[in-house]
Amino acid sequence: MTPSPLAVLITFAAVFSSLSIACDAGETVPHLTVGTQEIGLSAGYLLSSRLTDQHSTKQSGPAIMPSWAMVLTDPIGWRWLRGHLMLGAEIVYIQFQEPELTHGVGFTPKIKWMFEGTGTLRPYIEFAGGPFYTDLGGRIPEESARFNFILTAGGGLSWFFTPQLSFNVGYRFHHISNAGTRYPNLGLNASLPFGGFSFYF
């Protein structure tokens, strides 16, 4: 039985809270420098976005996304754009519950820009893309292949409640298609609101 996204997040938070370094009360501003690494886990629920009249499938279901990233730069940029450039990778697992119970898993390198924000509250934007396999392919009119590619773009907000641990909420837009390797290839589009935790070291 697949664990619920909420159960996974609670377990993740408990494990990484125990790893976070004890800090003085009020000392919650993270000190991100070149080489700082982030291990994260996010979960959400995929909601279908049918962009044209030709898109008829209403796919939906839970998604779980473990990730890793590294800070590549010290703070750069001007005023409210100032932030850190990060590069990483992510595994994407989706359990499609409509139109029938199927699964998908993929691996996506990603790039992330984390704004300095207010210190403890840090907005970010991210983009990712990579190969994605799903047994939903061939069962719906939009997708004829099981091997596809997934592209995501979105943003979120990280709240650091210790210098090493943050709670994250955000939104992503997902596009899944086979890049024209087989037809039909209308592709699937979906919205993904999510929440999760990240540990920095």
- 12-28 pLDDT tens trace: 455 444 444 444 445 67
Distance CA 163, CA 169 (A): 17
* CATH placement of domain 5-19+38-200: 2.40.160.20
Helix (H) or strand (E) holding 122: strand 121-134
Q: 45 φ, ψ to 5°?
A: -130, 120
SS3 annotation, 147-159: EEEEEEEEEEEEE
Distance CA 57, CA 31 (A): 45
- DSSP annotation of 179 reads T
Six-digit token pair at 168?
């994250």
- Binned at pLDDT 50, 70 and 90, residue 124 comes out as very high
Position with higher pLDDT, 31 vs 18: 31
State the pTM of this model: 0.82
Rounded to the nearest 5 percent, the helix, strand and coil shares of the chain are 10, 55, 35
Q: Is the separation of the CB atoms in 111 and 127 below 8 Å?
A: yes
Domain ranges of the chain: 5-19+38-200
Nearest to 169 by CA among 190, 198, 189: 198
Position with higher pLDDT, 17 vs 101: 101
Q: Is the separation of the CB atoms in 139 and 145 below 8 Å?
A: no
- C-alpha R_g of the chain: 18
